Amino acid sequence: EPEVTQTPSHQVTQMGQEVILRCVPISNHLYFYWYRQILGQKVEFLVSFYNNEISEKSEIFDDQFSVERPDGSNFTLKIRSTKLEDSAMYFCASSKYNQPQHFGDGTRLSIL
Amino acid sequence: AQRVTQPEKLLSVFKGAPVELKCNYSYSGSPELFWYVQYSRQRLQLLLRHISRESIKGFTADLNKGETSFHLKKPFAQEEDSAMYYCALSLSSGSARQLTFGSGTQLTVLP
């Protein structure tokens, strides 16, 4: 069964540095999402992406965040200048129209 | 704004006992409800979707609009059911529909 894949599985970065989290959605899916889960807290929606543009974004997704689909397969989340509070598990998901979302394994981001 | 509440962080039952994981939601419209499961060291996986009305791995969940609940039930729990269970809601309109998650219930099925 096809899966959403995320790399790296764990990223350690100094505060203030830029970080890019990568995702390869399922190939025939058209809708892409990023969520995050701070340790001990809920899974929170960050952003959804369709037809090469952002569909929805949450209050968390401020100017330091951006998403991109640089080619036909990758979907990336960039955090421009990381803060300590960005430490979390970041999940990518993808779906077809009106179908449930399929999640990746997540990237654990640790900001030092 | 929509909200999902799972009142139990932890739930333990013995193998063979019935289990019910509670989920309540608040949203003024007609949402779509899901249960996702996360087994140890694995990804979030869809377990149930309310519009499918299926039974997966012996689990069922009925949407009760009057009580705004979507409780997950299984009549006879198995040890392999031990996992983290998340109830989630998405709005029924819009093409790319964000999920709003509850805080999750860690189910432990004891031998």
Measure the CA–CA gap between B19 and B16, rounded to whole angstroms: 9
Give mean pLDDT, residues A72-90. 94
The answer, yes or no, to whether the previous bond of A70 is cis (omega within 30 of 0) is: no
pLDDT (0 to 100) of residue B91: 80
* β pairing state of A10-13 and A107-111: parallel
Where is average pLDDT lowest: A67-71, A88-92, B85-89?
Answer: A67-71
Confidence band (pLDDT; 50, 70, 90) for A36?
Answer: very high
CB contact under 8 A, B96 and A45: no
Q: Do A103 and B45 touch (CB under 8 A)?
A: yes
**What pLDDT is attached to residue B95?**
63
- Tokens 């399929």 label which residue? A102
> What is the structure's pLDDT at A73?
86
CB count in 10 Å sphere of residue A50: 17
What one-letter code names the amino acid at B67? E
Q: Using 50, 70 and 90 to split pLDDT, how confident is the model at A46? A: very high
Residues B101 and B34: their CA atoms lie apart, in Å, by 9
pLDDT averages per 10-residue partition of chain B, 111 residues? 93 97 90 92 89 84 92 96 96 76 96 95
Is B35 within 8 Å of B96 (Cβ atoms)? no
SS3 (DSSP) at B27: coil
Counting one residue from chain A and one from chain B, the pairs whose CB atoms sit within 8 A come to 51
CA distance B68 to A23: 35
